[in-house]
Amino acid sequence: MIPRHIAPYILKYAKQYPIVALVGPRQSGKTTLSQSLFPNYRYVSLENLDYRHHATDDPRGFLDEFGPYAIFDEVQRVPELFSYLQQCVDEDATPGQYILTGSSQFLLMETITQSLAGRIITFRLYPLTFSELYGYPADTNHEKIFQQRHPTHAPIAQEELLRLLFTGLYPRVHDRHLDSYKWYENYTLTYLERDVRSLLNVQNLRTFESFLKLCASQSGQLLNYSSMANALGMSVSTIKQWVSILESSGIIFILPPYYKNLSKRLVKTPKLYFVDTGILCYLLSIREESHLRSHPLLGSIFETFIVNECFKRLSNMGEIPSLYFWRDQTGNEIDLLINHALSSFPIEIKLSQTFQNDFKKSIERWLNLPENPSKKGMVIYCGEHAMQTTSPIPTVPWYQL
């Protein structure tokens, strides 16, 4: 098992709350992590029909038999349990009694809001970060993520980057050295097309496949619901619902625009990003890593990878990522803004392996906007050496983050 950086935070808050929930996309490692952190707890998978029927037909008897100090996996399968869990922890508020995991975040979160508010702490587990995969230390200060470079990190050649983008960062692929393309093919069939499609009550499988591929082609782009609806011959409301379900399921995330007091003429449309580049490459029909070298969307795939790394590392500290992008109507843009209190840290992401002075022009323009308190930024690129490291806007190889 590859150590997960979120682990110490789960253990910390398991000593403060009676219930800990671990949610995220399927195969992100929730079951493995919960069992490794709580090895003496009884483990019950509610994917098992016998356990599910027992919990549904007799929730009180089920909890008497298996709890407390139990891990209930895929707990959203039995929503009847939540009211009884509420009663149990109201009668005995001992911390760390129940560990709940669930893949369908939207179902789990809705039920938690109704029944367990104040009694539960929720963590979101996504696929691995680059830092976890390469065994680098966990972040200890969320304000330093992507603002502090690590020059001791070993250089990574462009070929290895392409392999990483193609393979993605789902733990099982790396733990078991699986053929990533076949794994994502199966993942799409068994999860995206079975679970998500059934929740959306989609009758036409081909339409849903087209929707997924259209989303993939727009990773890192402005989310234009009307354009997607026209392309698929569907209503805008349906497209919004489908996008929302993918986001709640942990397959994509939406990066909002930043427009607080900096200009009135700004783009206020969000961007769409896939949470993993492996599934993104599969949906783009990229069958081999060598195909990435000349792929027209390689820049967007690399940007997705970098934005993901920041998003997941903040999530691994138990933070709700406060990330944005900025673009005005004349085309000036900042790829990523990490927001901290009264200021934001701007980041530009460049696929180029060659340093150029004009990389930082967008950041300089943004820093010079009236009433902007921010003073520093960073350019992330694919070169081998950090450049202008003493300036307010250094250019840093991506693997030194």
271-315: pLDDT as tens digits: 999 999 999 999 999 999 889 999 999 999 999 999 999 999 999
Cβ atoms 25, 337 nearer than 8 A: no
Residue 327 in this model has a pLDDT that exceeds 90? no
Tell me the pLDDT tens digit for each residue of 68-113.
Answer: 999 999 988 888 898 899 999 999 999 999 999 987 665 666 667 6
Q: Which of 152, 166, 127 is nearest to 397 (CA)?
A: 152
Residue 262 in this model has a pLDDT that exceeds 70? no
276 contacts: CB under 8 Å, gap ≥ 6? 126, 127, 168, 169, 170, 308
Q: Which of 202, 203, 212 is nearest to 251 (CA)?
A: 212
Give residue 130's identity as a one-letter amino acid code: F
Tell me the pLDDT tens digit for each residue of 163-210.
Answer: 999 999 999 999 999 999 999 999 988 876 666 766 676 666 778 889
H-assigned helices in 218-352:
225-232, 236-248, 277-283, 298-315
Cβ atoms 119, 111 nearer than 8 A: no
Q: Which of 271, 286, 111, 275 is nearest to 192 (CA)?
A: 275
pTM, to two decimals: 0.92
201 contacts: CB under 8 Å, gap ≥ 6? none
Sheet holding 42-45, edge to edge: 42-45, 70-73, 98-102, 19-23, 120-124
Cβ atoms 383, 351 nearer than 8 A: no
Q: Which residues, in sequence order, are bridge partners of residue 101?
A: 22
What's the pLDDT score for residue 79? Answer: 86
Tokens matching residue 115: 């029944």
Task: Write a three-state SS string for 61-119.
Answer: HHHHHHCCCEEEECHHHCCCHHHHHHHHHHHCCCCCCEEEEECCHHHHHHHHHHHCCCC
Domains of the chain: 7-124 (3.40.50.300), 130-400 (no CATH)
Tokens matching residue 64: 């008497």
DSSP letters along 110-151, please? HHHHHHTTTTEEEEE--SPPHHHHTTPPPPS-GGGTTTS--T
Give residue 197's identity as a one-letter amino acid code: R
Give residue 294's identity as a one-letter amino acid code: S
The per-residue pLDDT of the chain, averaged, comes to 90
H-assigned helices in 258-324:
277-283, 298-315
Q: What angle do CA 103, 109, 113 make, to 5 degrees?
A: 160
Q: CA–CA distance from 260 to each of 256, 257, 265, 346 (Å)? A: 12, 9, 11, 14
